[in-house]
Amino acid sequence: MSDTFYLTTPLYYVNGVPHVGHAYTSVIADAIARYKRMCGLEVCSLTGTDEHGLKIERAARQQGMDPQKFTNTYAAKFRQAWKKLGLNFDEFIRTTEKRHSEAVVEIFERIRENNFIYLGEYSGNYCVNCEAYTPEGVTDCPDCGRPIEFMTEESYFFKLSAFEEKLLNFYDSNPDFVLPTTRMNEIVSFVKGGLKDLSISRTSFSWGIPVPGDENHIFYVWFDALTGYLAGIGFAGQGENFEQYWPADVQLIGKDILRFHAVYWPAFLIAAGLEPPRHILVNGWWTVEGEKMSKSRGNTVTAEELISLVQSDYVKYFLLREIPIGADGNFSYKLLLKRVNSDLANDLGNLSNRILTMIENYFKGQIPESGEPETRDKELRQFSSETIDLFRKNFDSLQINKAIDNVWELISMVNKYIVANEPWAMGSDPTKEDRLGTVLYYSAETLRIVAVLMAPIIPAGTASILEQLGISKPLEDHRIPQLAWGELEMGSSIGKIQAIYPRLDPDEFLSRVEEERREKEAPPQALQEADGTSKREEIKIEDFAKVEMRVGKIVSAERIPKSDKLLKVQVDIGSEVRQVVAGIAQEYSSEELPGRLVAVVTNLKTVKLMGVESNGMLVAATSKGKPVLVTFNEPVRLGSRLQ
């Protein structure tokens, strides 16, 4: 077995701030990286940001920002969030970096040399949100439900159709390529259904990496972004790291991006003469209070919010304990509160405090000598070593929540052991000192084992437990495979006793959550620059003047068939009646709109939404995630310009 381990998270889109769903994949990656390190492997963990493409370009323009500045700002938010959540990565790749674009060009050239690229023409429906072409015959994107757009363009194609057999053979020889394996079956049937060539360049936008020799073409974002996994370890420069770490051992992804990683990605790699990754580990999705997270619902739990409410171990523990990797989960602060209060504050925090306090009180803070073991002691020791084995077996097969369960069984066992032995009743009896020493040694040694096993998952609190036990070796120098009974040194001094996992007071905590929520609905804060300073994006007055906004009166409105959100609105702007498509159908009925005086942006390029032409935009504010139209109460001349 190789002694290196390379794992990756997806590269996150920078069109929004990091939220609990993104944090989840990063938390899993951090725990696996720490575990593998504690198994003695040389680990490289990579995360990063996916910054090109139409979706990002549009998001930047909507905020009146230049795409590069925009992505600098948002990439910095991801970097900061992971740091504050105590997630350590060795590499952070941004797809706007030079090392990345060089890697994309390099892999493209290799694939082209191997005759898997040709120039053709593509027409089809495209979902800007998912940056993916959608199947024929649908009007809304099957993945995200948003309206799709029709596009025709010249395009470079990747001969994916040539990979059907190769991929099926590869899956056959690597049945656990995709984990959990139920997801593998999904992919096998998809490929068996036939593969079409894949368009990998676009001419319809410019925010991306140009195709070498044909600079009108920009690489398709997925071709671009996937290469980040290679770029981050020195692919184009042929750095030593690349040789050492590729193929990746585990690539973590969410279930929505499985096809890109389990079909296109290995095909690109094989076409370039590179090995596919060893495993793709697919995680489920988190809802919030049972609902899908979305900007329009305003229910997104951001990483920043989590960090400001609870310590990082609480977040990590909750996310990893609550569900098995692969299943969907439901996030709620009430569940988090219950989980951390019962497991971390009560079970583990109290256990640690109890054992250390008794050592302090009965043995002046020195780890006692252990005497001749009795049956109960032997059972505890036996259970500890069985727990180490089970924990490793489960963690090695990436069943982290089961591995945690194993440790909790041990915690429950040692708690019962303490209750059964009643050490507090022996404290004042000098004839029982030996027995008391043994009981406390066994308890403290079990606590040490618990702390080392849990270190990859809750590193902050477990580091503190080990320090309090008087162990100065840094957390990452402990080796889980060598973990064995008896390492705790008798006679050594314990450290200063500290509470590690304070209990969250339910009322106080839930009212802080409420408060945080209210603040989120307050006017948007100044944007953060990449260097951490706050600055509002400033534009010149001439730039503002380019936007032509006029007063209009709604003449009529009707729903667009098959769309929940869109209304087709006719607005009289004095000189003409304009047709505008507005995403307000959930908030405004077509009957209540006629007669209203509204603000209309009148110099936008015509676009088609769900096949309906739109010549402008109704100006609206967003409140609690919902649009509220700007209207006029005073009489005002139709067509008057807003400035």
Residue nearest to ligand MSP (CB): 254
Other beta carbons within 10 angstroms of residue 255's beta carbon come to 13
Other beta carbons within 10 angstroms of residue 63's beta carbon come to 14
Nearest residue (CB) to ligand MSP, 234 versus 329: 329
For every residue of 261-308, DSSP letters joined together read IIIIHHHHHHHTT-PPPSEEEEE--EEETTB---TTTT---BHHHHHH
Nearest residue (CB) to ligand MSP, 45 versus 421: 45
How near is the Cβ of 455 to ligand MSP at its closest, in Å? 25
Q: Which residues sit opposite 622 in a β-bridge?
A: 627
Nearest residue (CB) to ligand MSP, 50 versus 149: 50
How near is the Cβ of 58 to ligand MSP at its closest, in Å? 15
Q: State how far the Cα of 261 lies from the Cα of 263, in Å rounded to an integer.
A: 6
How near is the Cβ of 399 to ligand MSP at its closest, in Å? 18
Interface residue list for ligand MSP (CB under 6 A): 10-13, 21-22, 24-25, 50, 225-226, 228, 253-254, 256-257, 285-286, 293
349: which DSSP letter? Answer: I
Q: Judging by beta carbons within 10 Å of its beta carbon (0-12, 13-18, 19+), is residue 169 exposed, middle or buried? A: exposed
Q: State how far the Cα of 127 lies from the Cα of 69, in Å rounded to an integer.
A: 25
How near is the Cβ of 355 to ligand MSP at its closest, in Å? 37
Nearest residue (CB) to ligand MSP, 8 versus 415: 8
Nearest residue (CB) to ligand MSP, 222 versus 501: 222
How near is the Cβ of 219 to ligand MSP at its closest, in Å? 13
Nearest residue (CB) to ligand MSP, 53 versus 616: 53
Q: State how far the Cα of 488 lies from the Cα of 459, in Å rounded to an integer.
A: 19
Q: Residue 253: which residues within 8 A CB-CB, separation 6 or more?
A: 10, 25, 261, 280, 281, 282, 283
Longest CA–CA separation in the chain, Å: 102
Half-sphere exposure of residue 62: CA atoms within 13 angstroms, side-chain side: 10
Q: Is 146 helix (H, G, I), strand (E, B) or coil?
A: coil
Q: State how far the Cα of 458 lies from the Cα of 86, in Å rounded to an integer.
A: 10
Nearest residue (CB) to ligand MSP, 223 versus 509: 223
Nearest residue (CB) to ligand MSP, 13 versus 391: 13
Q: State how far the Cα of 336 lies from the Cα of 318, in Å rounded to an integer.
A: 6
Half-sphere exposure of residue 246: CA atoms within 13 angstroms, side-chain side: 22
Q: Show the tokens assigned to 465.
A: 């437990």
How near is the Cβ of 74 to ligand MSP at its closest, in Å? 11
Q: Is the dihedral of CA 380, 383, 389, 390 positive or negative?
A: negative
Nearest residue (CB) to ligand MSP, 256 versus 487: 256
What are the angstrom distances between the C-alpha of 389 and each of 38, 94, 322, 376? 15, 39, 22, 20
Nearest residue (CB) to ligand MSP, 9 versus 614: 9
Nearest residue (CB) to ligand MSP, 224 versus 313: 224
Nearest residue (CB) to ligand MSP, 208 versus 616: 208
End-to-end CA distance of the chain: 68
How near is the Cβ of 23 to ligand MSP at its closest, in Å? 9
Cα radius of gyration (the chain): 29
List, in sequence order, every beta strand (DSSP E) within 159-290.
Answer: 178-179, 198-199, 201-202, 210-211, 214-219, 250-254, 279-283, 286-288
Q: Residue 110: which residues within 8 A CB-CB, separation 6 or more?
A: 271, 272, 273
